[in-house]
Structure 1
């Protein structure tokens, strides 16, 4: 396993990480979670991602109990959670000072931890001034409840505004953004965020490297495996949006490239994301230990991604975003 600094910070995270989205609390309970987390640690993973909204808080409870049962030393792992959707009440969601403070306290209680390493704003909140959010994030850091803070699915403009507030008030700005990034979703990482990397030292912990499993090649028109996330009731709409003819055609076009390299389609997709120098860690998901073992082998694929191979991939997916003048 390789470890990279999270942006310009001193925090080092494993190049591949594991996230609890979908799986913990929906598909897996503590016993299964322990086996998966240990498989990750055996592979050298030190970074584990969660959120208050995952399985309505149950994902945090499962991760916390599993880590406790496994007897891991807290300092050996990097744990993150995300705040925005904490419940049904008018103050249980968003990025107000009230919800950030109360939401993080509730997350720490569910995790049974004194702190998280990173706390994210799970989405931007148009109804809360960014200054209030920046001040609140700094307050929880000052309390020792989190070491760093970041954003998820924010725009470059919103992140720039947050840094403007932080610099003006001599506070800590967001050091990390968590965007979706895969062969079908590239604009933010490769175009919009380009100025942020050098200006603010923003790191990336990207999610959905396999486009919710589409890039594993296991889906075809009318075929949704019973154990897959697209078979879950909550994800039927995502399945309808993702499993379109053009996308499936591109996935099939990638199969010969993976075969030529002697790797799986999933390993190719994960390696492609991890090879981006601005990506600090690629968050993977899995419901089986065997999937984790296979996913981790993606690190061995990165050296195989020569310019020629990348050109072949691009010829199939044709998804490279156009760089606008302002970012050149």
Structure 2
């Protein structure tokens, strides 16, 4: 491996460790960095360090903040790679899971599970309903594009915007018709939050992220060809329609699962790929893994800000990402 990529990987790993440490340490009850990793080490291998901390500190670190920080890392990476893929797939710099209706469909499915059906399938109910909603929204976008002959990337984005409005309206209708006692929970969930993170839940977004990221990295060169135009991709032997369908399904899967566990968090999928391309160029072989890494760091720090800005209450993380992302996007527009 060349020195450049090795250096980048090393720097990103160090930043990830420092960010996770800060995510676990910072909060209404600050805990020293050394104590954080001593508790983690003792959980992984008992009696590694002498116990000089309270049981309350141990519970905060291991049961509350550490799984929350890991969930932030997984969700940030998932939304970022979804946005990077959709932007290349549609050849539109504004494309992201929200703009194309994927997030709205995922939110619709999750609201249906939370308000109307209950956990009929156990812990998998919300993720499965959320994925089904995301996949349904993706299918409707494809159908609308086909019926209206919107085969160009720009017109497909317009179809996605229309579908997003429809699914958002249907989700609001479900909230209106549902039990008023569940409204506060659903509204907080729609604004994005990581407060319900649990160790037992993390396996689902982790497995989905690993699988989808692997597929997207393997298909990155083909995605480069598709980003140059359907004709160019076809001349290189790519089955354009099948390949586009595969990528839509992958992005729907990763978005649906992430939204199910974190709620609707905006601007990560839109902003992170732009920031990565400013630093690393437009080659998706680099953009996709770097988007995952930067998305991870971004959402961890957004969660830290969300927890500190209104201590001891948690501000919905979607508010933080929306404000920061909107300002950053304006600055990028002004620069380029």
TM-score by length of 2: 0.25
Q: Which has the higher contact order (CA 8 A, sep 6+)?
A: 2
> Which structure features the higher share of helix residues?
2
> Which structure features the higher share of strand residues?
1
Q: Answer with 1 or 2: which has the greater Rg.
A: 2
